[in-house]
Structure 1
Amino acid sequence: MAEQTLDLAAIAAAARLLEKGALAAFPTETVYGLGADAENPAAVARIYQAKGRPSDHPVIVHVAPGADLTHWSDDLPQEAQQLVAAFWPGPLTLIVKRAAHIPDAVSGGQDTVGLRCPSHPVAIALLQEFKGGKGGLAAPSANKFGNVSPTTAQHVRDEFSDELASGLLGAVLDGGQSEVGIESTIVDLSRLATHGPVLLRPGHISSEQIAAVIGRAPALADAAAPRASGTLESHYAPHTPVAMQHKDDLGETLNRLLNDGRRVALIHYSDLPPASASVRLTADPQGYAHALYASLRTMDQVGAELILVEAPPTGPDWLGINDRLRRAAFGSSGILQQFLDA
């Protein structure tokens, strides 16, 4: 990430708001988070109120570098310590057993808690300032529940304009555009004896990287796995319907829709015919992820009837991207065929 001058006064002011139970949004390297004191159930409830988030959907607790994780979990396995040493600060969330004194508001009523140490300098400075670095901030993505996650401060302001006006959201710290651009990898370590490590959400840190550290690859999520942030089938969705198609079919589909008078927004990385509006992303997975959510938000505002996405490659580096796009398109299942059959 480029060198950034920190607004220490704004960070300190946000920390004081958070200590008083208010909400403050802040940047991380993945997406912007909507933060509250993780040990204040009333404050955490304000996150759910602002987002319109179901109360049984857990949030991730963000901690400062070097935080005492035994405060949050009294059953911290060796694998957690190994992954912390390898990837923190960074885009990896670990699900571990929750210590009894930690309110279950952050876990959706489960006996687990998700922990992460972000690498964004503004997030680190805020976490070090908040409660002298000894607290934790519950911080799901700073958007209305199910919507596209924000990767700039302006996205947050647009999403929560009413909450900013009412004072429910007390501050938005600006840290530029999020570098990674999709949410953290989530690994469940709470059932190692029975299930081993389990990948609940793919992200920037791959299963192969995790396996290289702990000696075994995480299994895919099972029916009994803990609920975790961002794992519902329909999620990360713009208001405009989304459909994905492979580039071999996309050109013909696009021409048919446009000839039928449909207004189509296109997100692509290959050479394709022009659409009503379009954005071309890089074919590099890191660059693609960095720009994905901002592109979805932009295409959501052009008045299109459909956002057509060229299906990304399917290699391991693209797993997190394909996961997010699949969830973004889930609620629009069948819409493309309806348009073509009309």
Structure 2
Amino acid sequence: MKTTIWTVDKNVDKQEGYQQIAQAAHFLKENEVIAFPTETVYGLGGNAKSDVAVAKIFAAKGRPSDNPLIMHIADKNQLKDIVEEIPEKAHLLIDQFWPGPLTIIFRKKEGVLSEKATAGLPTVAVRMPDHPIALALIAESGLPIAAPSANRSGKPSPTTANHVFEDLDGRIPGIVDGGSTGVGVESTVVDCTEEIPTILRPGGITKEQLEAVVGEVRVDPALADENQAPKAPGMKYKHYAPNAPLYLVNGTQSFIQKLVDEKQKQGQVVGVLTTEEHQGDYRADYIFACGRRSDLKTVANFLYKVLRSFNRSSVDVIYSEMFPTEGVGQAIMNRLMKAAGGKIIEETSEK
């Protein structure tokens, strides 16, 4: 399969840009799958009503079929076509954060969406992306678009069209190239089917921001339980992993350097994931700075790019600093924990 790339300026009102959007939307109407930019990461979209299209998403990604997909809409009016009801707190969140990096879980309307897209669950995850290309593509298709991140399952999510091409060239018919994404980590997923909203996946909208709008918000303990059936994307399986083993290190820079030295003495090529503030503290084969510790939004923005940079190196093992879990730090640590498969080295341990 030849993968076509349409390069589209964010000003999609331009005639040439809109023609390319129309071409990509035609594929979606024909139950094909297309990669496109959102404000978080690139998504791999298909007709959410079609079992055929959804099956192509899972096949292209190599994604387990019990991992539900997020439905993307371009207009709030589309929501009533796919959900049973919109609770009051969901209304408040929609008014505040849509379009934006917030996915809301609703009770789904039966018989509308592909059961494959919702993994047979009675609920559905929906968001409205804050990106002009994504909104134009969804609107032109006239469909709710099921779209996970446009990468091979388990690998770092793509924040550029080139990342998508690296993973999915020849596996999908097209990629809409709209440049780099903004937020860098996926949307926050919040369940609004109960009285107290519950975060199922931390992301671009923080717990503190949600609570400022609706009051108490819980964090689902199932985030740490890999044995539970996932209610939302990102709740199961190892994700975001680079090719080399990744270890999170809860310790000082000198302790991390000690780990690096030990591996280098064994003849291994070692990488360190750090920030601009600490980049000069290490002697390793590959040292990649992931934004600034003083501004965790920059860490979120560059996280997947850095993980992919390690894939283009010859590292045998990677050690990563850890980050505070306040604000967007919760999303950063969630992604790093999954990328590391939960492997943490404590400075106080015997390791």
User: Does TM, scored on the shorter chain, surpass 0.5?
Assistant: yes
After the TM superposition, which of the residue ranges 232-241 and 45-54 deviates more from structure 2? Answer: 232-241
Q: Distance between the aligned counterparts of 2:235 and 2:84, measured in 1?
A: 26
Match of 1:266 among 261, 272, 291: 272
Deviation at 1:260, TM superposition (A): 2.9
Partner amino acid for 1:29?
A: E
Look up the match of 1:166.
none
Q: Distance between the aligned counterparts of 2:128 and 2:341, measured in 1?
A: 30
Look up the match of 1:279.
288
SS at match of 2:100: coil
SS at match of 2:173: strand
Q: Distance between the aligned counterparts of 2:344 and 2:211, measured in 1?
A: 37
Partner amino acid for 1:89?
A: P
Look up the match of 2:154.
146
Deviation at 1:247, TM superposition (A): 4.9
Partner amino acid for 2:203?
A: G
SS at match of 2:190: strand
CA contact (8 A) 2:257 2:283 kept: no
Aligned pair in 2 of structure 1 residues 208, 334: CA closer, same or farther (>3 Å)?
closer
- Percent identity (aligned): 37
Deviation at 1:336, TM superposition (A): 11
CA contact (8 A) 2:84 2:106 kept: no
CA contact (8 A) 1:110 1:226 kept: no
CA contact (8 A) 1:88 1:119 kept: yes
Q: Distance between the aligned counterparts of 2:173 and 2:209, measured in 1?
A: 38
CA-to-aligned-CA distance 1:219-269 (integer Å, 9 cap, x gap): 424477852111115211112111111351212222222233220111101
RMSD: 2.1
The runs of 5 or more residues in structure 2 that have no matched partner are: 1-8
Look up the match of 2:76.
66
Look up the match of 2:39.
29
CA contact (8 A) 1:104 1:111 kept: no
Q: Distance between the aligned counterparts of 1:217 and 1:107, measured in 2?
A: 24
Look up the match of 2:4.
none
Aligned pair in 2 of structure 1 residues 305, 226: CA closer, same or farther (>3 Å)?
closer
Partner amino acid for 2:153?
A: F
- From the two aligned structures, give the one with the greater helix fraction: 1
CA contact (8 A) 2:249 2:345 kept: no
Look up the match of 1:18.
28
CA-to-aligned-CA distance 1:123-176 (integer Å, 9 cap, x gap): 111112112xxx21000001111111111100111101231xxxxx12100111
Aligned length in residues:
325
Aligned pair in 2 of structure 1 residues 226, 298: CA closer, same or farther (>3 Å)?
closer
1:241-252 matched pairs, under 5 angstroms: 241-248=245-252, 249-252=255-258
The runs of 5 or more residues in structure 1 that have no matched partner are: 164-168
